[in-house]
Structure 1
C-alpha cells in the first residue's frame, strides 16, 4: 500500500506544471576575483545614481559604444542592440529610447548562458577590494539590470520581481513571453554620465 502511495506521489509530481520562477540574487554580493574596479579602488567612487529617460534620442553615445566593446571582449553572449524609440508617456521612456541600454543575448534555459549572465551580474554588483559595494556598476555607470523576471536599479541591495512578469495580484505569472520576461537576454542600462563615457572606469583607467 505504501509503495502504491509513493508511486502516486511521484506520478503527480511529474505531471504537475512547472512552477514559474525568477532570478533570486544574493541580498549582498561578495567580492569576486579579477574585478576591474579593484584597480580603481583608491579613487573617488561615483554615488549610486539613476537617470530616468524622458525622450527619444538616436544620437550615438560614446560610453555605450565603449560598454558594448567591453562586453564583447569580457563576457559571454551576443549584442542584440541598444536604441529603439520606446516611450511610455509625455516625459517617460525606456532607457533604450535614449540609447542608454543594451540587450545582451543570453538564454536562461541554457545552463552555460544562465551561469554567464549570473557571473556578469555578480561582477557588476560585487564590492571592490576596499569593500565599496556595487563598485564596477557605479564606476561604469550601470544603473539598471533586468534578467529572468527580476529587476535591479541603482542603489538597490538586491533584485525585485519585474512588474511585467506579475499578475494583478502581484504573483509571478506562469506564462510570460520569454523576451518580455528578459529570459533570452540581459538588459543593462547606463546613467547619463556612463553613456557619455564620463565615469571613472573610462576616464581614470
Structure 2
C-alpha cells in the first residue's frame, strides 16, 4: 500500500472511529416516551453512528488480506452486522415511540423481520472482535487487542443492559460511551499498527 493510499485508509479509520463515538455520546433517551420527545435527534445520532461504522467497514476492507480468510474478516462481518442493527434501530424505534412507546426496546417489539437485523449484530459484533483481539494479542499487538476487545464487549454489554435494567437505566449510556471510547481508540491504533507493519505482517 503506497503512502497516499495508507493516508486515505488511516483517515477513513479515524473518521469512522470518531463518528461512531460521537454518535454514542450524543445518544438521547432510549425509553419510548422520552424518545418521542427527541425523535429527530434519535435518528440523527444513529445516522452518525451508521456513517462511522460504514467508514470502519471500508477501512477494515482495505486492511484485510484479500486472498485468504483472516481475523479481520470476522471483525468486518461484525461491523457490517452492527451497521444493519444501528440502521434498523434508528429508523424503527422512533416510529414505534410515536404510536406504541411502551414497546420500545422491549422483547415484545422484536418481530421476525426485526430479528433478521438485530440478532446477527448481537452475535457477530462481539464475536468478530473477540477473534480479532485474540489474533492481535498473539501477534504482539496487546494494547490494540485490549482496547478493541474490551471496548467492543463493554459497548455491547451496554446495549444488552437495556433489556436487563430497562431503557431508562443511566448505566446503559455509561457502558456504551466507555466501550465506544475504548473501541474507537483501539480501531485507530489497529489502522496505525497494520499500516506501519511490514507487508508480511499484515496477513494475520
TM score, norm. by length of structure 2: 0.31
The structure with the largest strand share of the pair is 1
Larger Rg: 1
TM score, norm. by length of structure 1: 0.31
The structure with the largest helix share of the pair is 2
